[in-house]
Amino acid sequence: MAEQSLRPIPENLKFWFSRPSSADGKTKLFEVAKSLSRGQHVPMAKTQATIPLFLPHRGCPGRCVFCSQRASGGRETSTASRELSGRIEQYLMTIDSRLPRIEAAFFGGNFTGLPSAEQENLLNAALPFLESGRIHGIRVSTRPDFIDPANALLLKNHGVDIVELGVQSLSDEVLTRARRGHGTAEVYRAVDILKAAHIKIILQIMAGLPGDTRDLSAATAVEAAALCPDGARIFPTVVLRGTELERLYRAGEYKPLTLDEAVEICADMRQVFTQKDIPVIRTGLHPLRNPGDEIIAGPYHPAFGFLVKARLRRREMEEVLKEELPGNHDIPAAEFMLPREKSEEYIGNGRENIRYLKEKYRLARLDIILKEGAAPSVRSLAI
């Protein structure tokens, strides 16, 4: 069969095609180009690189029922300035310096719960890289009840431009049952303080905590979006080994969400943010080091974020069906036109969206036509 003609390479991938490569590398690039021309999924070029610096449980006043950062985090980072600087240097050697944003990020634990001197020591190790332009920002994660004007000023003066707040829920009852040790008032206060310091805010929220419901999760998303953060992360609650949640689960006092329930609820939550043009930078847990050993129960999936996006696309396709073929559940076949650039999300994992629509609408056939930039549309077909 003759090769299909190739569509132009998208602008955001041209960098990778301009790089020097071996003969084998050129073959791989040609395969990427063919995939693009046929509407197959190809990972997009990176626009950001994060240098992760893990501080598991450091600065935490207690242990939340769900928390096992040693399962989900990376290797704990030394707080010695020389070792910390060396780790950043080591990462920079593997990162393309032309990326629009390179950042150092202190994840895990409660950064602002550390003594001020230790916070300064950690940030001072990263600051020279920021001042020299080799990195473009510093990110920290922390708890809302450990934010006050003084430590916000410390962060700002030491180059921190993004703070990730572990909010988890905006229901006081859910926060209490999760043993967070703070309420919703501390969240609103922390957001006000960080905004006054001109520090960007990412809110981390969860679905499926003890006492949580679909309505409460949706309400948390609505309240969080109303705070106008610069982004959000959404996590389904998973029962990890060695946590209080494991004890509750084994005692029959906690029932985790099924995977389908978690996808549905997190799709609700994600939609709230996207409707307000607030980026959701992640949906689902980061890949665990040993998921088979660490996960006791719950809706863990390595491609959870994709499942949520695909569920939202399914809802979109159903709305199109209802609008363009109203009241007609007896058509024998249909043809959907979909945008090529998001086709994998519309089709779903293992074509699950296509199967779902065929079964629900009793279609003998559902054809898919891909077109660049097309708005989803559907028409009935005769068999």
Bridge-based pairing state of the strands 48-54 and 101-107: parallel
Establish if 12 belongs to a structural domain. Answer: no
What pLDDT score was predicted for residue 328?
A: 60
Q: Are residues 215 and 84 in the same domain?
A: yes
Q: Are residues 292 and 254 in the same domain?
A: yes
pLDDT in single tens digits along all 383 residues of the chain = 333 333 333 333 333 333 333 344 444 444 444 443 344 444 555 789 999 998 888 888 888 999 885 555 555 555 667 889 999 999 999 999 999 999 999 998 899 999 999 999 999 999 999 999 999 999 999 999 999 999 999 999 999 999 999 999 999 999 999 999 999 999 999 999 999 999 999 999 999 999 999 999 999 999 999 999 999 999 999 999 999 999 999 999 999 999 999 999 999 999 999 999 999 999 999 887 788 889 999 999 999 999 999 999 999 999 998 888 766 666 788 999 999 999 999 999 999 999 999 999 888 899 999 999 999 999 988 77
- Cβ atoms of 104 and 67 within 8 Å: the answer is no
Distance, in Å, from the CA atom of 291 to the CA atom of 350, rounded to the nearest integer, reads 22
Establish if 13 belongs to a structural domain. Answer: no
Q: Are residues 203 and 315 in the same domain?
A: no
What pLDDT score was predicted for residue 288?
A: 78
Distance, in Å, from the CA atom of 115 to the CA atom of 120, rounded to the nearest integer, reads 9
Q: Are residues 90 and 207 in the same domain?
A: yes
Establish if 208 belongs to a structural domain. Answer: yes
What pLDDT score was predicted for residue 44?
A: 52
How many domains is the chain partitioned into structurally?
2
What pLDDT score was predicted for residue 16?
A: 33
What CATH number should be reported for the domain holding residue 281?
Answer: 3.20.20.70
Q: Are residues 94 and 225 in the same domain?
A: yes
What pLDDT score was predicted for residue 12?
A: 36
Establish if 4 belongs to a structural domain. Answer: no
Establish if 37 belongs to a structural domain. Answer: no
Q: Are residues 279 and 351 in the same domain?
A: no
Q: Are residues 259 and 363 in the same domain?
A: no
Provide the 10 A C-beta neighbour count for residue 197. 18
Q: Are residues 218 and 133 in the same domain?
A: yes
Q: Are residues 272 and 136 in the same domain?
A: yes
Q: Pick the last residue of a domain from 283, 302, 321.
A: 302
- Cβ atoms of 110 and 85 within 8 Å: the answer is no
**What residues make up the domain containing 202?**
48-302
- Cβ atoms of 164 and 155 within 8 Å: the answer is no
Distance, in Å, from the CA atom of 366 to the CA atom of 155, rounded to the nearest integer, reads 55
Question: What are phi and psi for residue 344, nearest 5 degrees?
Answer: -65, -35
Q: Are residues 119 and 194 in the same domain?
A: yes
Q: Pick the last residue of a domain from 277, 302, 327.
A: 302
What is the end-to-end Cα distance of the chain in Å, rounded? 28
Q: Are residues 207 and 327 in the same domain?
A: no
Q: Pick the last residue of a domain from 302, 334, 366.
A: 302
